[in-house]
Amino acid sequence: MKTHVINFSKQLSEAINIGSNAKLTESKNKISNVLICGLGGSGIGGSIISELAAGSAKIPINVTKGYFIPAYVNENTLVIISSYSGNTEETLNCMELAIEKNAKIVSVTSGGTVLEISRVKNFDHIIVPGGMPPRACLGYSLTQLFFILHFFKIISGKFKSELEASIKLIDDEENNIIAEANSIAEKLIGKIPVIYATTYNEGIAIRFRQQLNENSKILCWHQVIPEMNHNELVGWTEKNDALSVVMFIDTDEYSRNLARVEINKEVIKKYACHITEVFSKGNSPIEKAIYFIHLGDWVSVLLGEMRGADLMEVNVINHLKSALSKI
């Protein structure tokens, strides 16, 4: 897993080449909305890109992480099937339902049943390299989502230069990123991380939470400012040295949210053992997102090593899939 994190920028470069050479076809119908179907490491890219595109996309981009698709899906919907293995049962069910609705379907996968169906039905599909844990391949899947949305004129083409700038950013900052990640990981040893982010950065918080779950083998939770100011903040009433807060803060965040962050810190510092602020770097939302993702991935790997965890092991997920296959 550590090697995958080290090679993240190389993966992004390769992903740009894959996306640039993808063969996509125009929809017969006007696209009025987008639905991205995927779970876990294959689905988090949908959460992240839906937030990154929220300020510019002229049509809704939604994400589903289950067996079913919304009733609004029809022949005017672009459905993106994101399954790294190609065998995710929930996503396959969504794919079948989208076929019934005559949606425009594009898949992103390394193989499996998703690729088989895409070829038989002559659906657009982008194949990414296989044989890795899905959570280690976010660079591949997220990048293809950018290319797909751009092809269908849902986002502008500037994403490509911003992705390239992101690669340079994390390469230039790699030593600093590792040092900061190590410092954060040391504060999380033996603690329950509480992860906070602001509006349109929830995907980043979810990614970090998932990486701590799978790589570091720990439980944690996340919430979003300002929503948590209307509920969770009230729960901070007792000193708990087991809780360590990590706040992802965009340096260009809306001023009212930045004010909320400061007020939240004043409240929470009385009860948590640590509050660690993680500030964004980069000149665009995409650069900042990639920076946050890479830093969070490093924290999860380093924390896992400190805990003596097997970073690659996901036996309980394999057990779940095996048990479900017998039903």
pLDDT-derived band of residue 48, with 50, 70 and 90 as boundaries?
A: very high
DSSP 223-260: EEETGGGGTGGGG--S-EEEEEEEEEE-TT--HHHHHH
Q: What is the pLDDT of residues 164-196, one digit of tens each?
A: 999 999 999 999 999 999 999 999 999 999 999
Domain ranges of the chain: 2-157, 175-307
Determine contact, residues 130/76, Cβ cutoff 8 Å. Answer: no
Q: Is 4 a catalytic residue?
A: no
On the question of pLDDT at 38 being above 90, the answer is: yes
Contacts of 319 (CB under 8 A, 6+ apart): none
Tell me 214's DSSP state. Answer: I
Q: Tell me, what's the pLDDT at 252?
A: 93
Residue 56 per-residue DSSP state: T
Query: Could you give the 3-state DSSP secondary structure of residue 273?
Result: strand
Identify the CATH homologous superfamily for domain 175-307. Glucose-6-phosphate isomerase like protein; domain 1 (3.40.50.10490)
Residue 10 has pLDDT above 90, yes or no: yes
Tell me whether residue 227 is one of the annotated catalytic residues: no
**Among residues 214, 222, 281, 294, which one is catalytic?**
214
Coil vs helix vs strand at 201: coil
230 counts as catalytic: yes
Percent of residues, the chain, with pLDDT higher than 90:
98
Q: What is the pLDDT of residue 123?
A: 98
Task: Please give the mean pLDDT across all residues of the chain.
Answer: 97
Q: What is the pLDDT of residues 212-241, one digit of tens each?
A: 999 999 999 999 999 999 999 999 999 999
pLDDT for residue 125: 98
Predicted pLDDT of residue 136: 96
Residue range 266-309, pLDDT digits in tens: 999 999 999 999 999 999 999 999 999 999 999 999 999 999 99
Q: Report the SS3 class of residue 314.
A: coil
SS3 call for 111: coil
Please check the confidence at residue 251 and state whether its pLDDT lies above 90.
Answer: no
Which of 269, 270, 319, 321 is flagged as catalytic?
321
Q: Is the pTM of this model over 0.85?
A: yes
Report whether 174 contacts 281 (CB < 8 A): no
- How many C-beta neighbours within 10 Å does residue 120 have? 8
Query: pLDDT, tens digit, for every residue of 79-93?
Result: 999 999 999 999 999
CA 93 from centroid of its chain's CA atoms: 21
Burial class (CB in 10 A: 0-12, 13-18, 19+), 67: middle
What is the spatial distance between Cα 117 and Cα 32, in angstroms, rounded to a whole number? 24
Cα angle value 26/32/37 (rounded, 5°): 80
Over range 52-67, report the average pLDDT.
Answer: 96
Q: What is the pLDDT of residues 199-208, one digit of tens each?
A: 999 999 999 9
- Set 30, 58, 230, 326: catalytic member: 230
Report the DSSP pairing between strands 192-198 and 124-127: unpaired
What would the pLDDT profile of 146-163 be if each residue is shown by its tens digit?
Answer: 999 999 999 999 999 999
Of 19-28, 45-54, 312-321, which gets the smallest average pLDDT? 312-321
Q: Return the residue matching tokens 């080449």.
A: 17
Average pLDDT over residues 249-277: 96
CA distances from 46 to 42, 175, 278, 316 (A): 8, 29, 23, 25
Same fold, 2-157 and 175-307: yes
**How far is the C-alpha of 270 from the C-alpha of 267, rounded, in Å?**
6
What's residue 294's pLDDT? 98
CATH placement of domain 2-157: 3.40.50.10490
Mean pLDDT, rounded, for 310-319: 93
